[in-house]
Structure 1
């Protein structure tokens, strides 16, 4: 397609406006690309202009490593990651690691879901009760299980985890269980 557009430019002088209309680019962009295309072979497409802005602090390999480590242990903080890999993240600020985790790797920081812990003692008590009572299925449907539970009205601290997009919030790796 690109070669066809360059050919149109050479054949007709009004081709610049046609190229602008077809590609949605400006006049200076079309003229610059055509000038670069004259010196190249017919099979090569001209390179894009270098994008403005600061060079990224972390490479793609560093991002892959961070994503792998955080998905294995979602409770790691950016500060802990920075101290785990001092040579790799030597000149990277903690805030930049947080930004990288959130925006580039789609690992949002969320408060871990509280999930009550069903202890082994509670399970054993329920199992012995069920074995003692040889009931039918209809009778078991009428049983309501309950345990005495303590509830904390004010939470003084909540653990934060990195939760990947489209993941179950109640996955055991992303929850904290509490037992009083």
Structure 2
């Protein structure tokens, strides 16, 4: 995410799609986010910070049979020239930061929010690895410590040429 444009996301809801053997799933739709800009990075934050769906339980964005929980989203993919529905989704939304057309966005928000509010706690990830379709070969078990370390580094003032920053940095 370009830190110079991070403020454009202020107040938006961000969708996290996860691909896997069952197609693309919507593992998380955030509440409206706030943004923070650092020197070379941007960060989005939201509250409450509840966990995403497990991949197996997440609402289906699209599979290769064209099945979806979100019919208006499927209509957006009809004109994408790819061999499969999953490929069409990947092509259309790869690293996308554009807002969806209001009818599509409203349907996704409505269905996701309903499914999230009606879901039992067992369908939500306990760790972020649970939101993946499979366990990766390697993963960071200390995500919170890594996050805090990165935040500390981002907030440090830059040193001048050849001058070391004070010890408190």
Larger radius of gyration: 1
Q: Is TM more than 0.5 here?
A: no
Q: TM-score, normalised by structure 1?
A: 0.16
| TM-score normalised to structure 2 length | 0.17
Structure with the bigger percentage of helix: 1
Identify the structure with bigger relative contact order (alpha carbons < 8 Å, sequence gap 6+). Answer: 1
